[in-house]
Amino acid sequence: MPDAPSANVPDRNLALELVRVTEAAAMAGGRWVGRGDKNRADGAAVEAMRALISTVEMRGTVVIGEGEKDNAPMLFNGEKVGDGTGPEVDVAVDPIDGTTLTAKGMPNAIAVMAVSDRGSMYDPSAVFYMDKLVAGPEVADVVDIRLPAAENVRRIARAKKQQPEDVTVVMLDRPRHDRLAQEVRDSGARIKLISDGDVAGAISAARETTGIDLLLGIGGTPEGIITACAIKCLGGVIQGRLWPQDDDERQKAIDAGHDLDAVLTTDDLVTSDNCFFVGTGITDGELLQGVRYSRGRATTNSIVMRSKSGTVRVIESHHVLDRTAGLPRSEA
């Protein structure tokens, strides 16, 4: 008979508890889709996520949350979450990855959460932005963030027995990416520009069925760590280099002992091999469908992944709103 799981190690049952948390956040935030108020949307999702996370059997510490304690009344960095039993874990939350997408009713807004063994997540506090490369398992061994974008496109095309014109690269639509975008276009590859939500974009680059082959460009360091948890489960690759915004942030990073030229790998961003990623769609996208509402009910579409087993589940859930814990019908 196999040994019982240790109380200090996250086990498989945790995954289905966690998805209830992102479902609650998605249903709460989903009420604000297209209503033009990203702060109200985020506030509703945060409140719902916090209500449900307190029921999860874990002793969690928020490593990536809504900000520092003075600026974030709930789910702040360092906050203890869970019901106080079960394993000690690091917790990363983003109640809405893509608040602007939600406010405008645009695709690819999701509620996300990642959990790993305590002390295993990279500390993102020194530098807020990171230059990233994300790709799936089929090309994980051939890409390198230190290479020109065109060379990575060629390597992906060769590994997939395609032409560069068949490759699609996703990146945030930012002026800082103008030169990078031109390099990709000059290689012959296609580009999908996204206004926000690079967690969903990154995971889409790692999954075969999305039509996205590669994510490139500068985005949030916290989002990079959440993505790394997903990549641990999917078997692809994330590489990153810290990208200070100014001289003060650069000096802060150096003083903290960071090598700004170093390439951070998946294992640097999350050292544990036992981590979970869960996400629930708020608006429709390549990764997940958004929340559907109908006569006091809601339907959610979620992805649940665990690195230790490599299992990826896509879950469709049907909710009766006035019976859903933590989601009063008037607020759901």
3-state SS of the chain is: CCCCCCCCCCCCHHHHHHHHHHHHHHHHHHCCCCCCCHHHHHHHHHHHHHHHHCCCCCEEEEEECCCCCCCCCCCCCCCEECCCCCCEEEEEEEEEECHHHHHHCCCCCEEEEEEEECCCECCCCCCCEEEEEEECHHHCCCCCCCCCHHHHHHHHHHHCCCCHHHCEEEEECCHHHHHHHHHHHHCCCEEEEECCCHHHHHHHHHCHHHCCCEEEEEEEHHHHHHHHHHHHHHCCEEEEEECCCCHHHHHHHHHCCCCCCCCECHHHHECCCCEEEEEEECCCCCCCCCCEEECCEEEEEEEEEECCCCCEEEEEEEEEHHHCCCCCCCCC
Residue 129 annotated as lining a ligand binding site: yes
Residue 176 annotated as lining a ligand binding site: yes
Which phi-psi region, left, alpha or beta, contains residue 295 (left: φ > 0; alpha: ψ -120 to 50)? left
Residue 197 annotated as lining a ligand binding site: yes
Cα angle value 243/248/249 (rounded, 5°): 30
Residue 102 annotated as lining a ligand binding site: no
Centroid of chain to Cα 192? 18
Residue 175 annotated as lining a ligand binding site: yes
Residue 97 annotated as lining a ligand binding site: yes
Residue 154 annotated as lining a ligand binding site: no
Contacts of 178 (CB under 8 A, 6+ apart): none
Residue 224 annotated as lining a ligand binding site: no
Residue 293 annotated as lining a ligand binding site: no
Residue 220 annotated as lining a ligand binding site: yes
Residue 173 annotated as lining a ligand binding site: no
Q: Taking a C-beta distance cutoff of 8 angstroms, is the pair 116, 272 a contact?
A: yes
Residue 299 annotated as lining a ligand binding site: no
Residue 158 annotated as lining a ligand binding site: no
Residue 174 annotated as lining a ligand binding site: yes
Residue 3 annotated as lining a ligand binding site: no
**Residues annotated in a binding site:** 42, 66, 94, 97-99, 129, 174-176, 196-198, 220, 223
**Residues annotated in a binding site for substrate:** 97-99, 129, 174-176, 196-198, 220
**Residues annotated in a binding site for Mn(2+):** 42, 66, 94, 97, 223
